Amino acid sequence: MPTISRFENIEAWKTARQLTNLIYDLSDQGTFSKDFGLRDQIRRAAVSVMSNIAEGFESHTQPLFINFLGRAKASSGEVRAQLYVALDRNYILPGSRKSGEGMLSLKR
């Protein structure tokens, strides 16, 4: 089994990068883009997911990496909770291709 030498090769980081781009795209649309508090917070949380994976990997210590993976998981929960707010406010539509449901399993 090959050793991962760059955080960019970690599948979870790649998925977090896709999530971050999805969040930026979603939060640039319609009334979502004008809810500055939610827009900025969900963006920060999404960026935090990929950043924590990268930071933990670059620490080169297993205990720190595990700790940062836990933080990344917590941030992904924050993104999911904020997507529910966006869904409830009708900023995103359930079932739409870009609602985030495929990545996060959102349900009304």
Q: What is the pLDDT of residues 26-47, one digit of tens each?
A: 999 999 999 999 999 999 999 9
Measured CA to CA, the distance from residue 36 to residue 34 in angstroms comes to 5
Fold assignment, 10-96:
de novo design (two linked rop proteins) (1.20.1440)
Instruction: Give yes or no for a contact between 72 and 47, defined as CB atoms under 8 angstroms apart.
Output: no
pLDDT band of 97, cuts 50, 70, 90: low
Residue identified by tokens 């790649």 is 14
Q: Which pTM does this prediction carry?
A: 0.88
| Interval 68-96 mean pLDDT | 93
Residue 107 pLDDT more than 80?
no
For the chain, domain boundaries = 10-96
The mean of the pLDDT values for the chain is: 91
Measured CA to CA, the distance from residue 38 to residue 45 in angstroms comes to 10
What long-range pairs does 95-98 form, CB within 8 A, spacing at least 24? 98/22, 98/25, 98/26
Structure-block tokens of residue 52 = 């924590």
